[in-house]
Amino acid sequence: MREAAAMFLLFALNGASAAYDLPAATGTHRVEFTAEEADFNEYSRVIGLRREAVVREFGPDDRIVRTLKADRLSIDMSSRTVVSEGPFIMEESGSFFYGRSGEISYADNTGVIREGRFSYANLVFRGREIRVDDGEYAYHGARFTSCDLLPPHYQVKASRLYLKPDSHFLAYNTVFFLGKVPIFYFPVLYRPLGKGTPFITSVYPGYDERSGAYLKTSYVYRFTRTLKGKLFLDYFSKQGLGTGAEINHDSADRARTHLSAYRIREYGAGGDRWALSGGYWRALGGTGEGGPNYYSQSYFRLLSDPDFNNHYFRSNPFAVSPDMQASAGFTRQSNNTVTRLSAATRYDRDAAGTGFRQAYDSAPRLEFQTVPLRLAGVPVLNSFSAFLERSKSEGDSFYQNKGDASWTVSKNIPLTRAVSLYPHAAYRQSVFMSTSSATGDLWVGRYSNGVNMRLDGLWGSFDMAYAYRQRFRANTLKEDGAAADGGVEEESVTPTLFVRPSRKYYLRASTSYDLRSAAVGNFARRLSTMTAEFVYEPRPGVSLILQDDYSFTGGHRAVTAQADFLVEGNSVGLGVAKYADSPEYVISNTIGVRPGWRGWSGDLTLRYRLVPAARVGVDKFSFFEKSAVLYKEFHDFRSTWNLRLRPGGVKEFFFLITMKINDAPRNEPLDEEARRYWTHWRRPGQIRD
């Protein structure tokens, strides 16, 4: 019946005068329609379609551009407009619009959709009024979500939203609603669609006793496959506005670059507080395989004050290592040699604790070394190394020009299948060149020799090494016999035992015995501190590590133990450390729970100190760090809840909501490379410190 009505209407129109002809059937922009019933008003030039009306719009290439379906549709031939007074469906480029009413002009590809809904992939966009303009859509009174339930678990409302399918959407004045409850406001939200460049927006609301309530926001944009940028905009109720940015570039094995910057002017402060860190590595080319290659690299970490990281970037391990440093270098590497020209500086916290003092500066430093190689066919291996630098250390009032060069000859001699000898001899020359009126040139030479005997077996190995090093008098080649030590800087025997009878455990222990005649003391005093390590791994996920530094005269100097258990994703870790110069035991306890119960999981970290009582019990007990992280996965988003307490006034709570529609790709190569080289303390997928 539908096709018959359409054929009747087309026949009637074609049989009328030329003034009523529809556009040409092929090769041009045109529309076709079907319906159960149809009529035509020759005065208003309007075609009325009723009951399962369908209008298809074709482009010049004869492909369908747009399809409209409704119970009633009108085609105004004068304005070339399709009008629906009731609900309709519009299909365009594989996507579907639903509207309560609207009109579309196929003359200029514009129109209006009222109370419209657009489904794209896993997203649903709604708008009170949608303006159509050549494949782009402007929403007024917009809402969008990825939740497929009614009512949705969450939705984002925006005053205006601009949508271009297969490209992007841009929303202004957005408010995130969890159910009917508004959670937070966001001024601008942008996200590519289809094959667009991923743009990730993350929000971190939280509270910190020092900074007050805060809202940290992160915008992540991947410019290219090898270049990603991040923008940080933060608000702290007690401190003010903070801004920052981060750039990561990784181009296979040719170049790597990282740059991170952050600044904030706290309320009432006279200047900015800031941090700047990063570095680069770049291959500068070479002659290819077998020839020399050239590299340049740099690293820097700069701060306005030593406490900046502890106040604003607490997951950064340098929060408890408040120093500044910077270095840059140029390297030439061949099959046999490495040559490097570099400069470096380091600043430590000053005595007042609020600023920095320079601890070391070297500019420049030239280094050269070779791999072990044979010369003139002589069956021994020769190694050369040297450096020359201009440097100043803490306490020096002037820069010192100094250098060092050494030549080592060695050879591995197998005696039996289980026993081998490794004798070696070396000469080292140090020079300190005059850089002050109070000093002159100083040349100091040293020669050394030694031998190591190794016994290998299925049970492990045993090494017995002898080493001797003699110093010459300054500016001579005569032994420094007049010195208190007779010029003998080292003469020792070092045994090292490594026992591994099973893959499940091993034991390693080493000490040395001082043979110098100038050494004072009995047998025990001549023995150095023995280091021992025992590792036991009975099965995957279970490990025990015990380390001990034992002095034969003073007893245990440092004992550390760590036990870790991992079962079906759940983990428990317990670490204990005891140092001879303190009565305290430092204990670290970590618990990771992955029960899979309704999407919840968590990590707990407790670090505390205790002092045992003289007889039984505990005399002192105190926590110095407590942190808890809860993870919950909902239908539409992932959440992370963080609590952190530690010395320095750190009392912080914050949470992160990550929309599944805005998920960063898991294990993205660019992020993983940047994390491995520049921010290795971050967890996979962690956007910022």
The per-residue pLDDT for range 452-484, each reduced to its tens digit, is: 999 999 999 999 999 999 999 999 999 998 898
Q: Is residue 11 very low, low, confident or very high in pLDDT (cuts 50, 70, 90)?
A: very low
Phi, psi of 528 (to 5 degrees): -80, 170
**Residue 657 scores a pLDDT above 60:** yes
Q: Is residue 16 very low, low, confident or very high in pLDDT (cuts 50, 70, 90)?
A: very low
**Residue 664 scores a pLDDT above 60:** no
Mean pLDDT of 420-439: 86
**Residue 19 scores a pLDDT above 80:** no
- Residues near 558 by beta carbon (within 8 Å), at least 6 away in sequence: 547, 548, 549, 577, 578, 579, 580
**CB-CB contact of 361 with 392 (8 Å):** yes
**CB-CB contact of 32 with 56 (8 Å):** yes
Q: Is residue 581 very low, low, confident or very high in pLDDT (cuts 50, 70, 90)?
A: confident
Asked if the bond preceding 87 is cis, omega within 30° of 0, the reply is no
Percent of the chain surpassing pLDDT 70:
88
Question: Residue 185: is it exposed, middle or buried by C-beta count within 10 angstroms (0-12/13-18/19+)?
Answer: exposed
pLDDT digits (tens, 9 = 90+) for 336-391: 999 999 999 999 888 888 889 888 899 899 999 999 999 888 899 999 999 999 99
**CB-CB contact of 342 with 327 (8 Å):** yes
Rounded to whole angstroms, the Cα distance separating 619 from 621 reads 7
pLDDT of residue 560: 96
The amino acid present at 239, given as its one-letter code, is: Q
pLDDT of residue 22: 47
**What six digits make up the tokens of 150?**
């009614």
**Residue 107 scores a pLDDT above 90:** no
pLDDT digits (tens, 9 = 90+) for 229-269: 999 999 999 999 999 999 999 887 789 999 999 999 999 88
**Vertex 160: Cα angle to 158 and 164 (nearest 5):** 110
Transcribe 79-144 into DSSP letters: TTEEEESS-EEEEETTEEEEESEEEEETTTTEEEEEEEEEEETTEEEEEEEEEEETTEEEEEEEEE
33-37, 89-93, 681-685, range with the lowest pLDDT:
681-685
Q: What kind of fold does domain 2-192 have according to CATH? A: lipopolysaccharide transport protein A fold (2.60.450)
**CB-CB contact of 395 with 415 (8 Å):** no
Q: Where in 487-554 does DSSP place strands (E)?
A: 488-502, 505-510, 513-514, 530-539, 542-551
Per DSSP, what are the bridge partners of residue 236? 214, 240
**Residue 319 scores a pLDDT above 90:** no
Q: Which DSSP letter does residue 664 get?
A: P
Task: Give whichever of 22-36, 227-241, 592-606 has the largest mean pLDDT.
Answer: 227-241
41 versus 609: the higher-pLDDT residue is 609
Phi, psi of 224 (to 5 degrees): -140, -175
Percent of the chain surpassing pLDDT 90:
35
pLDDT of residue 199: 66
pLDDT of residue 226: 85
Q: What is the pTM of this model?
A: 0.68
pLDDT of residue 39: 85
Q: Which DSSP letter does residue 687 get?
A: -
**CB-CB contact of 127 with 140 (8 Å):** yes
**Residue 494 scores a pLDDT above 90:** yes
278 versus 65: the higher-pLDDT residue is 278
Q: Is residue 535 very low, low, confident or very high in pLDDT (cuts 50, 70, 90)?
A: very high
- The mean of the pLDDT values for the chain is 84
Mean pLDDT of 325-337: 93
Rounded to whole angstroms, the Cα distance separating 591 from 569 reads 11
Q: Where in 165-292 does DSSP place strands (E)?
A: 168-178, 181-192, 199-208, 212-224, 227-236, 240-251, 255-264, 273-286
